[in-house]
Structure 1
Amino acid sequence: MQQRFASLPAILFLLAAIPVCAQEWSRFRGPNGSGISDTTTIPVSWTEADYAWRIELPGTGNSSPVLWKDQLYVNCESDSGRQRILKSLDARTGKLLWSHEFESTSHRTHKFNSYASSTPCADEHHVYMAWGTPEALHLVAIDHSGQLVWQSDSLGAVKGGHGFATSPIVHEDLVVIARDTQAKGDSALIALDRMTGQVAWTVPRRGGRLNYSTPCVYKPQGRGAQLVFVAWPIGVTGIDAASGERLWEIEAFATDQGERAIASPIVHNDMVFATCAFANSPKHLVALRPESGNAPADVEEVWRVDNASVPHIPSLLVYDERLYAWSDQGICTCYDAASGKKIWQKRVGGRYFGSPVCIDGRLYCVDDAGICVVIATGDTYKELARNDLGEPSRATPAVANGMMYLRTISGLAAIGTYRGAGEIEE
């Protein structure tokens, strides 16, 4: 299945710099899904008295929070999915600014999923919220004052017993989302105009499997931006962001047994890293180098790992040329990002549905019991702290404004020293 080809000089593929220190954590896992912040105001360990604020949400969910300037957004659900809720909070205080409730339907979902697992995304104009049912994929845009701008309810059905959990992203003038569904031949990648909600392009896919991976942006030097999607059984796909043209696609995972892409891809320098797995089946981590990016043969598989320590649900993270793979079963492995050489592996313990984030060179990851484990990055494993959030959690932290925002099943908390992006009018 895999082929190797001589690589062009890496400098031809260097990515455009993404400022990880920006105030905005505006999509799942922050800037381009990297999960990295250089904020220096987050403590390693804390107690209940150290929270800047802590609130109970009016509904439950696994959605991660996102921010735009001094506003924080989080998805919730109530009445067994019959109501989907988007909350806007003052990031300084946790005070509710506004709330939008959308009527929906209750449907079958996985016991570890929720009706509010999709993470919203935001830009200078709007916050965008998605949810899916067996009848339709819904996507809405709400401005930062709480006014509904547009709503799209005709993007196709999302069929499958595990429910919906895919998150949208904003790229330039587009809102992009993957609509994967269990119905064969009925999946699609969709881009909408972010100001009007009109469909800009659609890429049909053969599908046949629910996948939850959130795309990222790959920017090879001298060429247009590409959107990278991961799905089983399709593999890894590069899409021209402007036109929707499929530039390359490679079957990087086993296709003879059912798997699912849940973790989101990341990019580092000229490489794309992706995972795919399912339960007790083999789990795959691949490091790819898209070269000219116009055919599968132009995608070099640089290295791969196929074993049980590969994460199924948590996404990967690259920091200081090391790749960290924090698995669902609490095994953290550090690889050299360029070569795939294993540097260390340690059983941290716990079970994980959220993904790690890196803050000032430290990894923070919350297990489903609500324990935030903090470890050092580097060539040796070192645990720094374990912080009990007091309630189960299946979400990934957000980091902005000098603070880390931690979502539990029914609550939200802020820790750190606030450094706001501006004042919110009362």
Structure 2
Amino acid sequence: MKRNALLATSLLALSMAAALTVKAADWPFWGGGASRNMVSSEKNIAVTWDPGRYKGSTEEIDLATTKNVKWVAKLGSQSYGNPTVSGGKIFVGTNNESPRDEKLKGDRAVLLCLDEKTGEMIWQLAVPKLGTGKVSDWEFLGLCSSPAVDGDKVYVVTNRCEVICLDVNGQANGNQGVQDEAKYLTDKGKPLHTLGAKDADVLWRYDMREELGVFPHNITNCGPLILGNTITVTTSNGVDWTHTNIPNPKAPALCVLDKNTGKYLGEEGNGVSAKTMHSNWSSPAGGLVNGKETIIFGGGDGICYAFDPASAVGGEQSILKTLWKLDCNPPEYRMKNGKPLKYATFDGPSEVIATPVLYKNRVYVPIGQDPEHGEGIGQIACIDAVTGKTVWVNKSIHRSLSTPSIINGMVFVSDYSGFVHCFDSETGKLYWSFDSKSHIWGSTMVAEGKVYAGTEDGDIVILAASKVMKELGRVDMRAPIYASPVIANGTLYVGTPTHLYAIATGAKAAQAAPRQSPTALARMTARAKQLRAEHEKLASCEAHGTP
């Protein structure tokens, strides 16, 4: 996907015993559990807060100017992934524009491990760029994968198209697993990096470019799925800079590895890559369907697939058993007057970028495209997870990157055009559509009868999780929001491109203070607009095949 194109789509993992709705506790995976349902049973979550102001001309937020904010962690300059929380630690991807190590400077993709109580960095993984530029590792996009935590291990998909397993404790408890981290972290032509206690500890690494022949388009993105002893990831295989040629149409769009060793176990064999319109960025979902573990995958060809993970047995090429597949584009999005409709046109077909949600033997999945393709028509489908047959579809939704939230017979989902929709989960009836008046990249988050959604204009919109539309509140974060709100252990986490906020309630909240001069904010906003204009110019050049 492109520079900005990472949806909030990212990650989560879970074993077969995981519940469909996460209980009050950690949020260790994208979506909270393998089902990917963006619903939490946490209580007393904040509905009002103030993100505060910068300290003078710095990029540090003055906590004295905030309200209901526990702490604020500085990220890089672009952050599209979603934080996960487990074992007193927070894991979040960003870029290296605020380097944490003077020895590891320059453009890198960074995974930060933060202390849940304070937001202070415990360790980091600062991955060098591929050197391919926008074609496969877009500059300054950072790490777009949402990490999956399983016990004492954390799994992430890097900008280099690798699946990496890390020790949650970093190098502080010794160097486990592979021993070449120093070389791995060192840029070409630079002195060998000296590992320290605040560096990541890599246990194993699987290079999908080298092992599977994957050609990631623009950037690699996936929130890993953990089922039992396996880890399933999408590969981001896609088109090249021309947007018409697929360098390796035979490379898989999804693969399964052993979570303990990184050993290859299997891949999809449906020829998804050969039919891919742009790239394969949707994170897989999974869980029990009629008591049997199942992988659900939204393809870059616009088709939703179900696979049997038990068929991933290893060998040179273990092809996953396909349980069913369903085109999520209606025929009129594919053809008009007997001719195929072009991709990236307003009324043309879309791929699946949003993460499908598995809920009560049904799959809920919208279609969409890279935001740089603009707005367009969309659809959300409800699929019988046993048979793969359509239960209902609704075309009221526009193109969407967003993972749905399903609770109490309602489906809440946002679209890129900026609408938050509420559908009946059984019939697909549209109850309401709320216009945020801004683009929405991330997903809805539902907790305690409230729907949280972040907008590109920088608002967190809070709506009633009911069949009657009601706006409960709106908080201006004063910076765009591309990631999705996350709730864990009584705290709401909201990420902007530059900061991660831990928002609390009651006694945990800081006292509000008079607002300071927004001089620094104006400076940062101007710089952000400049960078955005530069990126849009570059994206336009790429789309038209010009250098």
Question: Which TM-score bucket, shorter chain as reference?
Answer: 0.7 to 0.9
**Pairwise mapping of residues 235-384 of structure 1 onto structure 2 (< 5 A)?**
235-243=303-311, 244-253=320-329, 254-255=333-334, 256-257=340-341, 258=343, 259-278=350-369, 279-291=374-386, 298-307=387-396, 309-384=397-472
- CA 158–281 in structure 1, closer or farther in 2 if over 3 Å, else same: farther
Partner of 2:134: 108
Structure 1, unpaired ranges of 5+: 1-14, 292-297, 421-426
**Which of residues 140, 149, 153 in structure 1 aligns to 2:203?**
149
Partner of 2:44: 41
CA distance in 1, matches of 2:506, 2:49: 16
Superposed CA offset, 1:179-237 (max 9, x none): 14222332331111111111122223421330321111141224x21010011325111
1:84 CA drift (Å): 1.8
CA distance in 1, matches of 2:451, 2:410: 12
1:99 match: secondary structure? strand
1:419 CA drift (Å): 12
CA distance in 2, matches of 1:130, 1:57: 19
1:44 CA drift (Å): 1.0
1:49 match: secondary structure? coil
Identity over aligned pairs, percent: 21
- CA 157–115 in structure 1, closer or farther in 2 if over 3 Å, else same: farther
Q: Residue 306 of structure 1 aligns to which amino acid in structure 2? A: K
Partner of 2:265: 200
CA distance in 2, matches of 1:165, 1:114: 11
1:345 CA drift (Å): 2.1
Q: Residue 85 of structure 2 aligns to which amino acid in structure 1? A: L
The number of aligned residues is 395
Partner of 2:256: 191
1:403 CA drift (Å): 0.6
CA distance in 2, matches of 1:46, 1:59: 23
**Which of residues 71, 82, 89 in structure 1 aligns to 2:89?**
71
Higher strand share: 1
- CA 63–81 in structure 1, closer or farther in 2 if over 3 Å, else same: farther
1:33 match: secondary structure? coil
Partner of 1:130: 157
Superposed CA offset, 1:242-294 (max 9, x none): 22322111223254443222111112212111111344443121111133xxx
- CA 263–113 in structure 1, closer or farther in 2 if over 3 Å, else same: farther
Q: Residue 273 of structure 1 aligns to which amino acid in structure 2? A: Y
1:52 match: secondary structure? strand
Asked whether the 8 Å contact 1:66–1:72 carries over to 2, the reply is: yes
**Which of residues 113, 116, 119 in structure 1 aligns to 2:146?**
119
- CA 371–138 in structure 1, closer or farther in 2 if over 3 Å, else same: same
- CA 118–140 in structure 1, closer or farther in 2 if over 3 Å, else same: same
CA distance in 1, matches of 2:46, 2:356: 28
- CA 165–272 in structure 1, closer or farther in 2 if over 3 Å, else same: same
- CA 143–418 in structure 1, closer or farther in 2 if over 3 Å, else same: farther
Which is further off, 262-271 or 147-156? 147-156
- CA 385–417 in structure 1, closer or farther in 2 if over 3 Å, else same: closer
- Higher-Rg structure is 2
Which is further off, 311-320 or 251-260? 251-260
**Which of residues 80, 88, 92 in structure 2 aligns to 1:62?**
80
- CA 378–346 in structure 1, closer or farther in 2 if over 3 Å, else same: same
CA distance in 2, matches of 1:16, 1:170: 11
Q: TM-score, normalised by structure 2?
A: 0.67
1:161 CA drift (Å): 4.8
Superposed CA offset, 1:102-152 (max 9, x none): 22224216999933222111110211111245xxx2111111111221111
Q: Residue 129 of structure 2 aligns to which amino acid in structure 1? A: S
Q: TM-score, normalised by structure 1?
A: 0.86
1:325 match: secondary structure? strand
CA distance in 1, matches of 2:461, 2:431: 20
Asked whether the 8 Å contact 1:132–1:158 carries over to 2, the reply is: no
- CA 111–355 in structure 1, closer or farther in 2 if over 3 Å, else same: farther
Asked whether the 8 Å contact 1:26–1:123 carries over to 2, the reply is: yes
Which is further off, 164-173 or 36-45? 164-173
CA distance in 1, matches of 2:139, 2:389: 35
Q: Please tell me the root mean square deviation across aligned C-alpha atoms, in Å.
A: 2.6
CA distance in 2, matches of 1:63, 1:111: 15
